[in-house]
Amino acid sequence: MTNIIIHTFLALLMPPLLLGVIAKTKAAFGGRVGAPFLQPYYDILRLLHKGSVFSTTTTWVFRAGPIVALATTAVAALLMPFGAHPAPISFSGDMILYAYLFALGRFFTMAAALDTGSSFEGMGSAREATYSCLAEPTLFFALITLSRLSGSYSLSQMLANVTPGAWLYAGASLLLLIGGMFIVLLVENCRIPFDDPNTHLELTMIHEVMVLDHSGPAFGIIQYAAALKLFVLGAFFIHLALPFATGNAYLDWGVFIASMLLLAVVIGVVESVMARLRLVRIPQLLVAATILAAFSTLLIIR
């Protein structure tokens, strides 16, 4: 019970902190002091107290976008185990629901963007649709590999099975998987080198351009949902990359929090040292990620 409370508590409160850590890392690389770690929280709170502007062309679909995006990510957070602790809800096949929940959120975000009738937002949603479609098979290859390794069909057991011991006999496979999943993590969360969450008015953007017309509380909800998505997908990733458990329940939560912060630093470093890719390169890299994951599956099934 305590674990479920801590799980919910972390999922509710910690996500914006990751954004703060990423921004701080980038500032450090740029030789700046940077905004405080808690800046994303201030931003979201301030947005919740601002007025809204709705475009006259929009219908209720536009308002459903942020709501569904946050609701789906929140439910996905309940299916994802954090660190060594199992998820609050877990059943056979929950990994498929997990993958498809994001599709639902994405569908409504794209529909909300198209509802504004803006060519920029249409462009963003067309790109989002294509790139996420290409990222989908990678996630499934990863799920296959993990399911085969653990002999289980639920996320909690699949991910709990990745231990330093598993690395010893399936190291090659897991290494390939980490490569593939890191690309998916960056694409799904619109990070550099695929997308840039900080530029707003460029033709090369994907996610941010879809939410140009959302303002006030709606934009706050979107920011929070994006942070939560990074948190949930990040939790998946650190299961693969940093599979450490101490055995002590409270210490494990500490390990989990530290790993998540480390992941944020790594993302910040990647964002600092890399330039954005040209748009035509993105599909190629996504297919490369799929092939990495497919290799890892073949290695483990053979």
Partner 1 sequence: MYSFPQGFPDPAILAIIAALITGCAGIPGLFLRTAGAGQVIAVGMQMLAALLGIPAALALLFARATVTYTLNWGLPFGPCELAIDPLSAFFLLPVFAVGAAGSLFAVGYWPAAAHRSSERGLTFFFGLLTSSMALLVMARNGVFFLMTWEIMALSAYFLLVTEHEREDVRRAGILYLIATHTGSAALLVFFSLLVARTGSFLLPAAGSLSALPPMMMSVAVAALLGFGAKAGIMPLHVWLPSAHANAPSHVSAMMSGVMLKMGLYGIFRTLTFFHDPPLLWGAVLTVAGITSALAGIAFASAQHDLKRLLAYSSIENIGIITTALGVAMLGYSSHSHTLAYLGLAAALLHILNHSLFKPLLFLGSGVVIHATGTRDMNLMGGLGKRMPKAALLFLVGVVAICGIPPLNGFVSEFLLYLGLFSQLQGSSLAYIVLLAPALALVGGLAVISFTKLYGSVFLGTPRNSAAAHGHEAGATMLMPMGFFALCCVVIGLFPQFALGLISPALASFMPMATAAAGQSSEYMTILGRLSLLGILLLAASAAIALFWSLRLQRLPVLSAATWGCGYQRATARMQYVASSFSEIAISVFDGIIRQRSERPVLSGLFPRPARCVDLPSETVLERIITPAFTVAGSAFAFLRRLQHGQMHVYMIYIFATLFILMIWAH
Report 120-149 residues binding partner 1 (CB under 8 A).
120, 122-123, 125-127, 129-130, 132-134, 136-141, 143-144, 147-148
CA distance 179 to 166: 17
- Told to check if 31 binds partner 1 by CB under 8 A, we report no
Shortest distance, CB of residue 287 to partner 1, whole angstroms? Answer: 9
**Lookup result for tokens 């709170």:** 45
CB-wise, 249 or 301, nearer to partner 1? 301
Question: Residues 111, 265, 266, 277: which binds partner 1 (CB under 8 A)?
Answer: 111
Question: Residues 5, 45, 53, 274: which binds partner 1 (CB under 8 A)?
Answer: 53
Q: Which tokens in the block code for residue 75?
A: 């439910």
Question: Residues 29, 37, 54, 244: which binds partner 1 (CB under 8 A)?
Answer: 54
DSSP run (H or E) holding 15: helix 15-29
CA distance 253 to 244: 11
Amino acid at 297: T
Binding residues among 178-207 for partner 1 as defined by CB under 8 A = 201
For partner 1 (CB under 8 A), the number of binding residues is: 82
Shortest distance, CB of residue 103 to partner 1, whole angstroms? Answer: 5
CB-wise, 33 or 119, nearer to partner 1? 119
Question: Residues 29, 37, 107, 167: which binds partner 1 (CB under 8 A)?
Answer: 107
- Told to check if 217 binds partner 1 by CB under 8 A, we report yes
- Told to check if 222 binds partner 1 by CB under 8 A, we report no
CA distance 124 to 140: 25
A 10 A CB-CB count for 222 gives 23
CB-wise, 126 or 265, nearer to partner 1? 126
- Told to check if 208 binds partner 1 by CB under 8 A, we report no
Shortest distance, CB of residue 168 to partner 1, whole angstroms? Answer: 21
Please name every residue paired with 34 in a beta bridge, in sequence order, or none if there are none: none
CA distance 69 to 34: 29
Question: Residues 5, 13, 45, 96: which binds partner 1 (CB under 8 A)?
Answer: 96
CA distance 34 to 23: 7
Determine phi and psi for 163, rounding to 5 degrees: -125, 170
Burial readout 37-51 (b: 16 or more C-beta within 10 A, e: otherwise): eeebbebbeebeeee
Shortest distance, CB of residue 249 to partner 1, whole angstroms? Answer: 25
CB-wise, 28 or 61, nearer to partner 1? 61
Following DSSP, what letter does each residue of 258-298 receive, concatenated?
A: HHHHHHHHHHHHHHHH-PPPPTTHHHHHHHHHHHHHHHHHH
Binding residues among 247-266 for partner 1 as defined by CB under 8 A = none
